[in-house]
Structure formats: structure tokens, C-alpha cells
Amino acid sequence: MTPVPAAASSAPRRGRGRPSSPVLTADGITAGAVALLEERGQDGLTMAALARRLGVAPSALYNHVATKQDVLRAVQDDVNRGIDCSGFGRDPWEEALAAWARSYRDAYARHPALVPVMAVTPVGSAPHTVAMYERVSSGLLSAGWPPHLVTNVVVAVESFVLGSALDTQAPADIFDPGDLAATAPGVTTANAARPEGDTARAAFELGLAALLAGLRDLLASAS
Amino acid sequence: MTPVPAAASSAPRRGRGRPSSPVLTADGITAGAVALLEERGQDGLTMAALARRLGVAPSALYNHVATKQDVLRAVQDDVNRGIDCSGFGRDPWEEALAAWARSYRDAYARHPALVPVMAVTPVGSAPHTVAMYERVSSGLLSAGWPPHLVTNVVVAVESFVLGSALDTQAPADIFDPGDLAATAPGVTTANAARPEGDTARAAFELGLAALLAGLRDLLASAS
DNA sequence: ACCTGAACACCGTTCAAGT
DNA sequence: ACCTGAACACCGTTCAAGT
């Protein structure tokens, strides 16, 4: 995001008509939405809250965006801009893919509300998002992946990444069977043996390693 | 779900006080919510719509559930009840895991609104959910998986499954770079080479095969 | 105990009026 | 063109009153 003041000119403007210079810009709205999401969590982004932070009436936003979904799309493109796909075309594809997946997961772990948006929003007209997919796709192609498999590989990794991003939001006791412990000895055993710490990350790294190993085999047998 | 009439006694009751026999039950509320989700999609489930379908005032629901989140939790447990984990303890673990993952993905593809709920809701007091995890965990344990890895395997597969369930909601043209096609030759090449048909399923099957192959290697090297 | 109906504090969005 | 302020049709939830 190009830097934009977090909050607009402290006091709300009192004039009634068109301002002499525009108060809002598309980038300013996006930056405000990102900040709101970061500060207040996923329920914190409302059109009213966004307008207040920008020092305008909620209806003023609709001169710049058609819907709240538009705002989410712009935020998503901004988040994707921060994902590291620099390894493609430089490092071996397995390393590039692993670094991309980690960076991607971390970005959406910070913005879980965007996960369902990301899974469903067409890429067209989201420039950073298109740039990311281009880097990944062309990287896989030039690493020797057959063209007909490339998008499936991207989608499979992405599905795992987005699911893992959601998993970071799970409470620590999500697998505690509670009253039903007596009926769940296997769950209890597995939970007790699971090492403490960042369990979401451990599960992600295990899955990522498995997925990459399987993809390596698949490429070897496909070529 | 135990069978329950889809809509309650056609005409709304006119009496003002406590009914002679209860109009609502927890199971009836859950069944109504499932039906609403299935018929009207994820935005169709509102407390008002649910109440109307059950022939009561919205506030009546709050005698049986504390919040809408409660309703979602109950629906989730009902959905999990339908997931096939019968292979564990019967078939080789790879086959059982694959069948479970497919069934799990299909169930949540029908209920994408529950994906974020599932990722975050503690399992305690959701009997069918606990039963599912018990079957899976004990199946992996008796197949020789080290206890400290079992939950991570479950979470990794689940993350991939839930991400893949979200992906089924993506429009067919999600990767169409639109105006930006000129800047995205790799994406364009990969898209053009991707076979038509159920692309979400193809990506899921590719990822599942890779994940399973990687897990097989991991188990071999861990034991 | 379990319902109704009114009320509360919100949502996203529209639109006439103002400059 | 781009803002304000009032309005609309919703939300989820609370609560007094009724039987």
C-alpha cells in the first residue's frame, strides 16, 4: 500500500457540500480497512467504523466503492502484495514453493476474515494477486512441471495454506473431548503426546513437508 | 439428524403465553437450520428465517440456544455425523484416510459457511464430532503412527480438506487475469492447458495423492 | 418453562439535497 | 464530482408480560 495517513484530518469536516479537494481515495479506504482489520479483528471492519476512521459519513464511501465486498477485494490484493514469491525462478521449485506457502499462510493467519474471500474472488483486476500467480505459475512451468498440472498444483497448495491459516485461529483446547473423554481414548492419547508450543505451525510444517514430498514424486513420475 | 417435520404446524400459533406442549426442540432447531442452509445458502440462515420456518417468533429460539453460534455448532455436529470414517480400523490407513478426506470435503462443500466454524469450534460436547476424531485418531494409532504425530496428521489433512471445500465455491473463471492477461503469460498458459471438467475435484485429488504419498514416506522414516 | 411482541443497538446501502 | 444526513430494510439479542 502506498503510505496514507492512518486517520484523516482529526476533526470531522463540517461543510455540507462537495469538498474543495476529495477527502477519500481508493488507496486511503483500503489502508483504513487494513488498519481496522489489524487493530480490531475481523468483526471490526464495518462501513461505519471505516467511515469514522476516515472522518466521513458512511455514505461517502459509496462514491468510491460499490459494496463492502469491493473493500474486501482491495484489502485482499494488498495482503497478497506482501506474500513472498521471490524464490520462483531463482531457487529450486520445492524451496520456492515452501517459502511461498509459509509466507502465504502467515499473511492470512493475520487476516482470517479474508480466507473465504480469497477462495472465491476472481483474480481479474487485482494486480498484485495476478502478479503473484504469474510468478508462481511461470516458476513451476520453467521448473519442468507439465502445463496441464500447474494450476492444480497451485490450487492444492493454496487450499492447504488457507485451511492452515484458519487453523491458526483455533483455540488451544479445540481437541479436548471434555465430558466425552471416556468415549475418546485415542483422541486423549494423541493429545497427551502432542508436543506443546505452536501446534498449528507444527501441523502446517508436517503437512507442507508431506505435500512437497508427494509433489516431487509426482513430477518425477510425470516427466 | 432424527427426522423432524421440516416446517412446524402450518399456521403460526396465536396464543400469547406458554404453549401446553413445547413447540421447539434442540433437534428441531438444528434440522430447520440445516434445511435453511441447504435451500437458501449460507446467507439464508438468519434467526428470523429460522423462526419463521419453525412457526415461532425469533425470540422464542433463545429459550433453547444462547446464540446463533450455538445453532451453527449444532449444525456442524450434524454435518460431521454424515462424514464417512468407517475405513479406519478396517482398511489400510492410507485408504481410510483418503475415503475420510473425500467424504469430509464433500460434506463441507455443501456447507461452506461452516468451514470457518469447523476450524475454530472446540470439539467438546459435540458428540458426533468427537466420535469422528476418535475413529480417525485410534485408527492412525493402531496403524502404527507415533502418538506425538497423530494430531498433526489429522490437522494437516483437515486443513487441506477445508481449504479444498472452500475452493469448490470458486467461480470457473477465478484465474482469468482479464485485462492483465498480457502481464500474465504463465497463468494464461497454465489455464489453457488445464483440462475442463470438475477442476476443483482434480486439484483436490492431486493434492490428496501428494499428501498421502508424503505421509507414507514420513511414517516409514519415523518408525 | 416457554411463548409473544416491543424494543435496542446495530448492519450495509440508497438517495435527495448541498456546494 | 463528492460530500452530509435522513431513511430503509434488515440483523442478533434482550426482556417484560402472558399463560
Radius of gyration of chain A (CA): 22
The answer, for B222 touching chain A at a CB cutoff of 8 Å, is no
**Distance in angstroms, CA of A46 to C1' of C16?**
24
Write down the H helix ranges in chain A.
26-40, 47-54, 68-81, 93-109, 115-120, 127-142, 147-167, 185-193, 199-222
pLDDT at residue B111 tops 60: yes
A61 CA, C17 C1': Å apart = 18
pTM to 2 decimals? 0.92
Q: What is the pLDDT of residue B20?
A: 79
A167, three cell numbers: 487453523
pLDDT over threshold 70, residue A97: yes
pLDDT digits (tens, 9 = 90+) for A8-49: 444 566 566 778 778 899 999 999 999 999 899 888 999 999
pLDDT of residue A3 exceeding 50, the answer is no
Residue whose CA lies closest to nucleotide D5 C1'? A57
Cβ distance of A122 and B191 shorter than 8 Å: no
Nearest nucleotide, CA A66 to C1': C13
- Residue contact A211–B211, C-beta within 8 A: yes
Q: Which of A159-173, B86-100, B117-131 has the lowest mean pLDDT?
A: B117-131
Q: In angstroms, how far is CA B174 from the centroid of its own chain?
A: 22
A170 contact B CB<8A: yes
Above 70 in pLDDT, residue B180? Answer: yes
For B199, name the nearest residue in chain A, comparing CA atoms only. A152
Chain A to chain B Cβ contacts (< 8 Å): 287
Tell which wins on pLDDT, B199 or A125. B199
Distance (Å) from the alpha carbon of B157 to chain A's nearest alpha carbon:
7
Cα B73 to Cα B130: distance, rounded to the nearest angstrom? 13
pLDDT tens figures, B195-215: 999 999 999 999 999 999 999
Average pLDDT, chain B: 91
Whole-number Å distance between alpha carbons of A104 and A85: 9
Query: Residue B10 — pLDDT band, cuts 50, 70, 90?
Result: very low
State pLDDT tens for residues B28-64: 999 999 999 989 988 899 999 999 999 999 999 999 9
Banded model confidence at residue A93, pLDDT cuts 50, 70, 90: very high
- As a whole number of angstroms, the distance between CA B89 and CA B147 comes to 16
How far are the Cα atoms of B2, B17, B32 from residue B47, in angstroms, in the given order?
21, 21, 11
Contacts of A96 in chain B (CB under 8 A): none
pLDDT band at A171 (very low <50, low <70, confident <90, very high): confident
- Tell me, what's the pLDDT at B3? 39
Contact of B144 with chain A, judged by CB distance below 8 Å, is answered with no
% of chain B beyond a pLDDT of 90 = 79
Using an 8 Å Cβ cutoff, are A201 and B206 in contact? no
CB atoms within 10 A of CB B221: 7
Please check the confidence at residue B125 and state whether its pLDDT lies above 70.
yes
